[in-house]
Structure 1
Amino acid sequence: MLFARSYRLLFILLFTSFIAPVWAKSSSQSMDDWFRNFKQTASPQALYQFLYQMPKGGDLHHHLSGSGYGKWWFELAADSEKNGGYSYYTRVKNNNCEPYGVNTFSINAVTFLFHTISQHTWSELSACRQQEYRALSQLNEAQIQGFIQSLELDKPYEGQDEFFERHWQRLNELIANPHIMANILLRNMQEYQQENLLYLETQQNLRFMKRPDGSFYSEDEALAIFTTMLSSAEAKLTGVTVKFQYALVRFTPNTDAQLKWIYAFVDNHRDYYVGINLVGREDDPKGHPLNFLSTLRSLRTRYPKINLAFHAGESVSPSENIRDTLLLGVDRIGHGINLLSDPDTYLLMRNNRYLIETNLISNFKLEYIQDFSQHPFPQYLRTGIPTALSTDDRGMWDARLTDEFYVAVTQFNLSWQELKLLSRNSLAFSFLAKDDKQRLLQTLEDNFDRFEQGYLNNTAQKKVISYSGFMCSYEPLLCAQGGQ
């Protein structure tokens, strides 16, 4: 029996992305038929309930700073007892404090609302500029709602520019508070527990984290705040395993020096950090993948392997960015939307060891596709390109992982075996250590067995679900009939 379980798990690891699992139990075959019939007759509520409770593997493409909902940011930032003793101010009006002729494109020339700063930074502003800001704890209701909505991409005229040029700048010093970020991580874990997710691989940097007085934590001091949270009873109760990636913004100054520092840091903290990510807009030529080739090759002569999962192909324009990113030695591609425009690279990735991290809602919200039917995801899934669904910056879409699965099923008519394959891929292609990966893959299979039996025997327990803002816009019937 032990040999059979071990063989089954080994088979998952080797072949999970390439062929339908031939070892599946007879209940799975019955489940295939059950799910095919269920899709044809289920109400939106019933389908969402099913996908919400469905066992899930991991979320592999996850920016922690983009995963907080606006209401979370406000709740934490406005309460010093919840955020480590910090006080914050946000910009609520424009006094035109700057004289004529100043550099309005400077990073310090803030012209938009809800730019948030610490009390320490506020105290160093001129009197005129101080009056533009108001303590978060003193905002009126309209300002509170404005603050929350300013951190979510919820209006039809908001797209790439709003997201890349405003959202992160509004968060500003909030993401430099390790107490807030650790709390955002805990809340993600608690939500993922409800969605039956086993693993989260999130991107979180530690340099330049600030204390309330403006001084900097060391990287190890900042990491300790996260690890203390992960060791807490609340975190352990979720059952979600968490590992980190360190991210390099591709177009920032001194990227070679940054990459060298990141490599050394990840190498020294392999118990928590499992990889490195290259992030940022690809339309900036300073961030071209091959700019990093010589530095990475040099670093590989000095360090044992460090896993790489780089953003590439997050564009509608044909390019060779995915191919050039593979040349860097990456194992996973984030987004990969324009792969079909590069046939040679597409053929290379078919039935190979590279995974594309698919972010359906992100790609729609940021206008890389105008309609979900334009997304190449089904081509990847059904022609042997390993892929898995992930959430990217879910807080800014007001969405969750189940929403990604709901879109995939309703747009592309996924089968039960395809749903299971996506969940398996999200663990099989994770950067977890081998033993941890095997353990979670076996847990996932056990969870699937119980889940299938519950639905086939009509004994599945239903959860009370509230729906995300995204789902209320994508599938209005969900919220029109009692959803929240």
Structure 2
Amino acid sequence: MKIYFVFLFSAILNFGYSQTANTYFEQIRNNEAKLTAFFSQMPKGGDLHHHYSGSIYAEPVLEDAITEDFYLNTTTMQVLKEKPSNGNWELFSTLKSQGQLERYKQKIMEKWSVKDYNNVDYPSDKLFFESFDKFSPALVGHFGEGLLELKNRAIKENVSYIETQLSTIPCDINLDGLTNYNRKLRLLALSKDENGIKQLLDSIYGNLLEKGAPSCAENFNANFVAKLHNENKIDDARFTMRYQNFVLRFMEPVDLFKNLVVAFISADSSPLMAGVNIVSPEDGETSMKDYWLQMVMFDYCHSRYPNVKYSMHAGELTLGLVQPEDLTWHIREAVYTAGAHRIGHGVDLAYEEKPYELLRYMAKNDIAIEINLVSNEFILKVKENRHPFLLYKEFGVPIVISTDDAGILRTNMTEQYVLLAKRYQNVSYANIKQYVFNSIKYSFIKDESVKKQLLKDLELRFKTFESKFPIK
């Protein structure tokens, strides 16, 4: 099957290749408006690094909160359905009656997204990561609406596939008898005792199965994901969506492992669940302390569920954000220890120990890199030649272009390609076309017939797109 895809992929890139589209692209590559028009019409395949909650634009979320009369913290701009005992909280209806609603709408938009951000008042990374908790309560009960928003926007933008990180999996398992394992796991991690850690994980894993972890996964798959997906008719001839489970890297080891086991069981048992990921700020105290331990946990779960694919947020760091020595090993451990199938961000690559060896390994083993240009510029202030994109390209690492959190970042897939063309002059139209096809080839879609159909559809879309040139 892999040989078939290599052949098909090569044939697609060469079949119908339009020299006139390429010539026009080279003529306009320094004109942002013309590039935007070009890439708006160009088929863009899939968005593989995509967070559901961060990709919904703030406007509809805010309107839902106002309609349902949430409480607003007038200091932090967080919303909640129920009023907490502490803090400055006002109902939206009260703000409206006082004539204050419009003023607060502007403040909310500035805290829920990068809208009107001035690069001065507040650290960009903190603004980004803190925004989720502020608006997330208003997403509850509106997941179907959100999926349709994402689908309709993707179709208008000529994106045919999204692999989104939808939600954590609720699983109320009592872990009181397992909390003593937190200290034991961390002590073993300090001495890099991988075998000792996995022996402890064996005990925890058996306990989690007895306590009902599979039931949590089954309920999530059937009563949340499949229900949302089918009732809203997400898949059709124009568009396909699949879902990644994710865990939060700031959690204590046993809690994180519980969620990871449930995530792997879920991904292993549903065709809609494409894989697993890990999220939250990589420079957080617990994230840094437990990073290697978490990579071992991923490897352990993969040994139990070898068919489950996973992408890893790794190397979303830069000089100044953490101590220099902490930039040298995160991508390496995600690749070598965790066995990641794709890497998300990978921004600190140039600081990694033996970066060329790592790049060759990723290229040889078909480990794709998810490039998020707008996200990396806003959160990390890394762009242009500081970004390792050209290193990945030079060493032949498979590249996919993605948005990360288009709603918070006020961006879309078109802008990613505009920046790519403007900033990296040696990226050709053929390269860009390859990245688009990569976004389907390196997706975690389980049904090979679905993947083949998406590739075939992409071929036809490009043929139609390229037939428009030369422009008259």
In the superposition, the TM-score normalised over structure 1's length comes to: 0.76
Q: Distance in 2 between matches of 1:34 and 1:8?
A: 32
Pair 7,207 (structure 1): closer, same or farther in 2 beyond 3 Å = closer
CA drift of 1:208 comes to 4.4
Q: Distance in 2 between matches of 1:32 and 1:240?
A: 26
Q: Distance in 2 between matches of 1:297 and 1:388?
A: 24
Name the residue aligned to 1:427.
440
8 Å contact kept, 2:372–2:416: yes
What is the SS of the residue equivalent to 1:391? coil
Matched, 1:163 2:128: yes
CA drift of 1:24 comes to 1.4
Pair 448,257 (structure 1): closer, same or farther in 2 beyond 3 Å = same
What is the SS of the residue equivalent to 1:283? coil
State how many pairs are aligned. 403
Matched, 1:250 2:214: no
CA drift of 1:294 comes to 4.3
Name the residue aligned to 1:307.
309
What is the SS of the residue equivalent to 2:328? coil
Deviation string, structure 1 residues 147-182 (Cα, Å, up to 9, x no partner): 222211231134112222x2122124224x1x3233
Query: Structure 1 vs Structure 2: percent identity of aligned residues?
Result: 25
What is the SS of the residue equivalent to 1:205? coil
Name the residue aligned to 1:204.
166
8 Å contact kept, 1:190–1:238: no
Q: Distance in 2 between matches of 1:38 and 1:162?
A: 35
CA drift of 1:271 comes to 1.8
Matched, 1:446 2:460: yes
CA drift of 1:222 comes to 8.4
What is the SS of the residue equivalent to 1:59? strand
Name the residue aligned to 1:63.
51
Q: Distance in 2 between matches of 1:235 and 1:71?
A: 22
CA drift of 1:72 comes to 1.9
Instruction: Output the amino acid matched with 1:32.
Output: N
Matched, 1:34 2:34: no
CA drift of 1:304 comes to 4.0
Q: Distance in 2 between matches of 1:39 and 1:357?
A: 22
Q: Distance in 2 between matches of 1:44 and 1:114?
A: 34
Deviation string, structure 1 residues 302-348 (Cα, Å, up to 9, x no partner): 33421110100111143211110112111000000111223221232
8 Å contact kept, 2:369–2:397: yes
8 Å contact kept, 2:332–2:358: yes
CA drift of 1:230 comes to 3.2
Correspondences of 1:64-463 after superposition (within 5 Å):
64-80=52-68, 87-92=69-74, 112-118=75-81, 121-122=82-83, 125-126=84-85, 129=87, 132-135=89-92, 138-139=95-96, 140-154=101-115, 155=117, 156-157=119-120, 158=122, 159-164=124-129, 166-175=130-139, 177=140, 179-208=141-170, 220=219, 224=223, 226-232=225-231, 235-236=234-235, 239-253=238-252, 254-268=255-269, 270-284=270-284, 286-287=286-287, 288-317=290-319, 318-326=327-335, 327-342=337-352, 343=355, 344-369=357-382, 371-413=383-425, 414-433=427-446, 434-456=448-470, 458=472
Matched, 1:46 2:43: no
CA drift of 1:32 comes to 2.4
Q: Distance in 2 between matches of 1:170 and 1:256?
A: 26
8 Å contact kept, 2:295–2:333: no
**RMSD of the alignment, in Å?**
2.9
8 Å contact kept, 2:13–2:434: no
Instruction: Output the amino acid matched with 1:330.
Output: A
Instruction: Output the amino acid matched with 1:452.
Output: E
8 Å contact kept, 1:151–1:396: yes
CA drift of 1:266 comes to 2.4
Instruction: Output the amino acid matched with 2:292.
Output: L
What is the SS of the residue equivalent to 2:467? helix
In the superposition, the TM-score normalised over structure 2's length comes to: 0.78
